[in-house]
Amino acid sequence: MRIAEMLARGRPTVSFEFMAPRDENEVAMVEKTIAALAGHAPDWVSVTYRKATGKKTLELVTRIKRQYHIEAMAHLTCANTADETRPILNWMEREGVANVLALRGDPPGPGQAFVPADPQFQHGSDLVAFLRRSGYRFGIGAACSAEKHPESPDQAYEFRYMQMKVDSGADFLITQLFFDNRFYFDLVRRAKEAGITIPIVPGLMPVPSRRSLAFMAAMTGATLQPDLARAIEEAPDDDAVRALGVRHCIEQCVELLEAGVPGVHFYTFNRARAPMEILASLRGQQLLTA
């Protein structure tokens, strides 16, 4: 089923992002996380893509669909040439994958430049356009930023590329993680003013630790409200930071769901405990159905 159809059903969807295992040492952890969160009835999930682990992404997507009967979306990036991308897409179609998240992909590290594998794949919008003009029948998602991405000179530049993804044929958008809902609400307002009508799903991450927070903030540009930043700085250890992160994410979700968002998408980093706690709270408040 296409994810865009789920997002149009009139009730918020719940979804998770899993990271494809980089090596055999991570397989057991990923499988345990998927099994735990599958029991919480997500509407759909996504699996990240790296060129080095691309095969694992595809295998994991199909296994989730077959074993847990959950709609699983494969991430796909501009890490491959067009000629390398077509066989991947053909394989997805044969295996019944219905949705693709078309992304440019991350640079090698913070402060480093992204180098495309193919001149025609400079941006995520290029991959969206390629999928559309090649005749594939996938539902297509794309990413956007509620805040200014570290690589963008300003928010207007970022917004312009979001519009290009929509114009190229994206069916829905998922934001990068953010901690202040005002950024999301402002993005949705500007999108509506620009005539963008496709769903924009908020992407959320409960802060797991100071170290993880620092890395993700550097990669995505996400900022913390002063009171949250101060509370995390004053927390005695990572257990306290994690508890703060869960409470803050619950507060975010409550405000977002009461405002009528199409769904909530959790970046799990292959950890099940925090999303489970958040969902239990939201369902206890009857903001989500079981």
Catalytic residue positions?
17
Tokens 């640079």 -> residue: 107
Q: Quick one: DSSP state of residue 51?
A: G
Tokens 């296409």 -> residue: 2
For the record, the structure tokens of 286 come out as 């009857």
d(CA 189, CA 184): 9
What are the distances in angstroms from CA 84 to CA 9, 196, 225?
35, 32, 43
Q: Are 272 and 37 in contact (CB under 8 A)?
A: yes
d(CA 258, CA 188): 15
Question: H or E segment at 214?
Answer: helix 210-220
Phi, psi of 183 (to 5 degrees): -65, -40
Three-state secondary structure readout of 188-204? HHHHHHCCCCCCEEEEE
From the list 58, 49, 50, 45, the residue with the least C-alpha distance to 17 is 45
Q: How many residues does the chain have?
A: 290
CA 255 vs. chain centroid, Å, equals 19
d(CA 97, CA 100): 8
Buried b (16+ CB within 10 A) or exposed e, 171-201: bbbbbbbbbbbebbbebbeebeeeebebbbb
d(CA 192, CA 198): 9
Tokens 């590329």 -> residue: 161
